[in-house]
Every structure is written in structure tokens, then in C-alpha cells.
């Protein structure tokens, strides 16, 4: 063991010289790396949120006020984004879902609405399909997209994410997501990595062969849904007209709108009864479109004999006091579930628990004894001095030298010139 301790001193000197580590930070940094090695990123994120929404005392009106939200380090988020991007690269642009499914519309950074949906439905046998616009406008864009990416990684056959128009860089750099990341993490590279992942998100889904799901709507350039499968990823912008239409278009029951007309949004089209009928005729047995994209005062609206349904899941959107809603779809029926509005919370007055860790490159997996170590956490209220809560951290740091094994030491040694 004495030889290992000598080796450890040698390693510390090397790392301080190589990476300009300060001595007082070295052991904390090493401790965090060793702990992180034992935890899957998605599991870690889900665990922290399950502690909230699986609690029997869960109250969505207390989220971020009395119930602290986890704030994950940049390196945890980068690990999550990397894993998600790799998965999304092989995910089709048109996904097919069978069985019972819950459909969630725009969330726009409303983490309390998302946690409430999970609280009421996570123990059911329903799958979840999210229709995009997870970020921007609301207070908790980072939290919403982080949890959703983790759930889709952990449960890829149950959680499905589609892309909305706000999952495009040219939109989310203007409407809050960029500013939120700059404020919380002060790193544009993290913002860019999120958008790199968004470029691989699916853009449409078909449920039980009959229900076409998309963020915005259909396109005059899309005769057959199979055309979606012919598109190539990554998709960076709205330069493909069909993509632009599917992200931005809106339906109308105005009898003057027979086909497609230009939208006043600046992107997409307004599509009417004739366009919808032609879409169904060319793509049997599809006979229904479910989409999001539009704020609805009562959270759900139907058009043209229920052939087009819009669902909006972010409550108290902007200045409004609207409810939140989801759709439950089975082979036999569609049920709408409406939840009461949850008032917005200012990010200046929230409580967070910071989960601080780093992603090691040079360490091997280690024993269960090491994996029991707690992460470096801070329980804080914004603008207050934070109170460190480091369970077992000091004793763990004292044990680091005893816990290091020879294979790890071999990896840490500088290479011979």
C-alpha cells in the first residue's frame, strides 16, 4: 500500500502539471470522477426526478419552490447529450408506435406540468409520445429536455420524442433556451450540443397505423408519409419545405381554405378540409391527425369531425391561465385529460440541488464499494449562500488512496517519451 501511495503522489504531481489542477481541488475532482464512473447518466437523472414525482407527498404547485429541482453539472449534461445523440442517429424520422399511448403537446419549459403528467401516469401501461416544443418561453427548458432525453434513453420502447419548431437553433436562440443555458452554465458549447442532438430527432409518428402525429401539420409537398423516411439526417434548418410545413403549419375549418394557403407565421401553411381529405386518401388506413404547436385556451381542440386534434400541455402559457392537457389513445377511443393550471415560477426564486460530477476518461470501472459514494451536492436557494451537504465526502477523500488499484494507476501514469 505504501508503494501505491507513492504512486498516487506521483500522479497528483503529473496531473497538476498537465492540467494545471490546484492542489486543494485535486482530491475533490478525483472523488467526483470515481463516483461518476459507477452511475449511468440517464439513470442518475431519472433517479433524482423520481425522488420528486414518485413521492406520495408530491405537489406540483410546490415544485422549485418548496421542492428543490436537481441542477446537473455541465459534464453530466454533455454525457447525456452524447448518449442521446448516438441513439437518435439510428432512430427513424418516422416512428411507428403500437398499443396504448399518452400524447403530450407543447411543454415549453414547464417542468411542473411534466412532473405532474408522470406522477399520474408513469405506473400505467401506456407509452408516451411527446410532440415537440420542450424548450423556450417557459422557466425550466433545461430541466424539461434533460429529463425527457434521459427517459427516452432509459426506456426507448416507452418514451418517444418528436421534434417541434423550437428544437431548431434559429428559433431557440431567440426565445429563451440560449439565454437560459448562458445564465445557468455560461457555455455556448453546451447549447450547441443540445442543438446537435435536436438535429436527429424524429419528426412524425404513426400510432396503431391510423393516427398520424406531428408537431405542426401536413405539407403540400408530402403526398405519402413514406416520403418522410426518405429524408436524410441531420436536419439543421427549415430549408426543406416539407420539414418547414410539418413544424409550422396549422389546420383550419374555414370553408374558404380548401387546400393549402400561406401562413402568417412566416413559415408553414394553413391547411383545410380538402388537403386533409387528400392526405387520408393517399395514406390509408390513417384517418386522424394529432398535433400540437398552437396555444389552446381549453388545452384541447378538435376540427372537422375529430379528424384533426390539437393538444397543448403547458399550463399558464405566457399571460394566460390556461389548463394543461394530454390525450390517452387506445385502439377503441381517445380520452382527453385536463389538469388545472400551475402558476409560473420565476427562476430568480427557485430552489435547486446541484449534482456536481465530472466524466472521467482515464479511470476504469470500480468496485461496488466505490459506487456507494455520494455525489458532491449543494442544497441551495438562488441568491442565498449555499450550504454544502457532503455526506461521507471528507471520509471518502481520506479513503481515496486506499481504494485506488494498480490498473487505475497504470492508466494514470504519463506515457514514456
Quote the CA–CA distance of 356 and 281 in Å, as a whole number: 54
- Residue 242 makes CB contacts below 8 A (sequence gap 6+) with 219, 221, 222, 227, 228, 231
CATH architecture observed for domain 75-344: 4-Layer Sandwich (3.60)
Which residue numbers are catalytic? 166
Q: Which residue has the cell 426518405?
A: 230
Quote the CA–CA distance of 173 and 181 in Å, as a whole number: 10
Quick check: pTM over 0.75? yes
Query: Residue 49 is inside which H or E element, if any?
Result: helix 41-53
Domain limits, the chain: 30-72+346-417, 75-344
- Residue 331 makes CB contacts below 8 A (sequence gap 6+) with 208
Centroid of chain to Cα 172: 14
* pLDDT-derived band at 40, boundaries 50, 70, 90: confident
Residue 299 in contact with residue 312, Cβ under 8 Å?
yes
Q: Which residue, among 126, 135, 131, 127, has the nearest Cα to 104 in the 3D structure?
A: 131
Helix, strand counts (H, E) of the chain: 15, 18
- As a whole number, mean pLDDT of residues 338-342 equals 98
Per the structure block, which three cell numbers stand in for 415? Answer: 506515457
Which pLDDT does position 17 carry in this prediction? 55
Which pLDDT does position 387 carry in this prediction? 36
Which pLDDT does position 286 carry in this prediction? 98
Q: Residue 268 burial (CB < 10 Å; 0-12/13-18/19+)?
A: buried
Which pLDDT does position 413 carry in this prediction? 34
Tens digits of per-residue pLDDT, 136-159?
Answer: 999 999 999 999 999 999 999 999
Which pLDDT does position 92 carry in this prediction? 98
Lowest mean pLDDT among 27-31, 181-185, 214-218: 27-31
Amino acid at each position: 500500500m505504501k508503494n501505491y501511495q507513492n504512486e498516487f503522489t506521483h500522479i497528483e504531481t503529473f496531473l497538476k502539471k498537465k492540467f494545471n489542477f490546484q492542489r486543494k481541488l485535486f482530491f475533490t475532482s478525483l472523488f467526483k470522477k470515481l463516483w461518476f464512473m459507477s452511475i449511468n447518466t440517464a439513470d442518475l437523472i431519472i433517479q433524482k426526478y423520481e425522488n420528486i414525482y414518485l413521492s406520495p407527498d408530491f405537489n406540483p404547485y410546490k415544485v422549485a419552490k418548496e421542492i428543490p429541482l436537481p441542477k446537473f453539472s455541465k459534464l453530466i449534461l454533455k454525457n447525456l447529450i452524447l448518449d442521446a445523440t448516438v441513439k437518435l442517429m439510428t432512430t427513424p424520422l418516422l416512428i411507428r408506435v403500437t398499443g396504448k399511448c399518452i400524447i403530450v403537446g407543447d411543454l415549453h419549459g414547464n417542468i411542473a406540468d411534466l412532473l405532474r403528467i408522470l406522477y399520474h401516469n408513469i405506473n400505467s401501461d401506456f407509452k408516451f409520445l411527446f410532440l415537440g416544443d420542450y424548450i423556450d418561453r417557459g422557466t425550466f427548458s433545461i430541466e424539461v429536455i434533460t429529463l425527457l432525453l434521459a427517459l427516452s434513453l432509459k426506456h426507448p420502447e416507452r418514451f418517444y420524442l418528436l421534434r417541434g419548431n423550437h428544437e431548431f437553433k434559429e428559433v431557440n436562440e431567440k426565445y429563451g433556451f440560449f439565454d437560459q443555458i448562458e445564465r445557468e452554465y455560461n457555455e455556448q458549447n453546451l447549447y450547441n450540443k443540445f442543438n446537435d442532438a435536436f438535429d436527429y430527432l424524429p419528426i412524425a409518428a404513426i400510432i396503431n397505423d391510423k393516427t398520424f402525429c406531428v408537431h405542426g401539420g401536413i405539407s403540400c409537398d408530402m403526398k405519402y408519409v413514406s416520403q418522410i423516411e426518405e429524408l436524410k439526417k441531420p436536419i439543421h434548418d427549415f430549408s426543406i419545405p416539407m420539414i418547414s410545413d410539418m413544424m409550422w403549419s396549422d389546420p383550419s375549418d374555414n370553408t374558404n381554405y380548401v387546400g393549402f394557403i400561406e401562413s402568417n407565421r412566416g413559415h408553414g401553411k394553413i391547411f383545410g378540409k380538402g388537403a386533409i381529405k387528400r392526405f387520408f386518401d393517399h395514406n390509408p388506413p390513417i384517418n386522424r391527425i394529432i398535433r400540437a404547436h398552437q396555444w389552446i385556451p381549453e388545452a384541447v381542440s378538435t376540427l372537422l369531425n375529430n379528424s384533426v386534434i390539437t393538444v397543448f400541455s403547458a399550463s399558464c402559457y405566457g399571460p394566460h391561465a390556461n389548463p394543461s392537457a394530454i390525450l390517452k389513445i387506445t385502439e377503441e377511443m381517445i380520452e382527453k385529460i385536463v389538469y388545472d393550471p400551475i402558476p409560473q415560477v420565476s427562476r430568480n426564486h427557485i430552489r435547486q440541488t446541484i449534482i456536481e460530477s465530472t466524466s472521467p476518461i482515464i479511470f476504469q470501472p470500480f468496485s461496488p464499494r466505490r459506487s456507494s459514494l455520494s455525489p458532491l451536492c449543494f442544497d441551495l436557494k438562488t441568491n442565498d449562500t449555499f450550504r454544502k451537504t457532503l455526506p461521507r465526502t471528507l471520509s471518502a477523500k481520506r479513503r481515496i488512496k486506499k481504494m485506488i488499484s494498480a490498473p487505475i494507476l497504470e492508466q494514470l501514469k504519463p506515457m514514456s517519451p
